[in-house]
């Protein structure tokens, strides 16, 4: 995960800790919005992913994120603009595909409508 955070920081200018919370919000959103077991498998197989979800404080699975707009609001509340959000999401997906099975990651992403605007 440190390699991913360093890459995101270099591309976006974000502090690694902010990038990690952003990643956590994205993964928590996936967990809440999808019932596909691929999401859990992707998180479990991606080093640091579960920690990022916990760091974001969204590991309760109660659906309180407010959909895709809620996710965007949380990320913008961290100070990310739309370009930075897309970079964080794109790099997270690329990292997860190396750590987990690419088909699992694709299935996890496809299970959540509206996510394509971020990745």
- pLDDT for residue 20: 97
User: Do residues 90 and 57 lie in contact, with contact meaning Cβ atoms separated by under 8 Å?
Assistant: no
- pLDDT for residue 70: 87
CA–CA separation, 53 vs 51, rounded Å?
5
* pTM for this prediction: 0.89
pLDDT interval class at 28 (50, 70, 90): very high
Q: Which is nearest to 16 in space by CA: 40, 52, 42? A: 52
Q: What is the pLDDT of residues 63-96, one digit of tens each?
A: 455 788 889 899 999 999 999 999 999 999 999 9
- pLDDT for residue 78: 95
- pLDDT for residue 60: 45
């Amino acid at each position: 995960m440190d390699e991913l955070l360093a890459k995101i920081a270099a591309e976006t200018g974000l502090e690694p800790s902010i990038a990690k919370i952003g990643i956590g919000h994205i993964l928590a959103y996936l967990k809440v919005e999808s019932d596909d077991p691929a999401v859990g498998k992707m998180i479990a197989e991606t080093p640091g992913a579960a920690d990022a979800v916990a760091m974001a404080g969204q590991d309760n699975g109660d659906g309180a994120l407010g959909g895709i707009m809620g996710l965007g609001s949380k990320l913008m509340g961290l100070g990310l603009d739309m370009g930075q959000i897309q970079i964080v999401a794109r790099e997270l997906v690329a990292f997860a595909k190396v750590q987990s099975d690419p088909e699992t990651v694709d299935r996890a992403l496809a299970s959540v409508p509206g996510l394509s605007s971020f990745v």
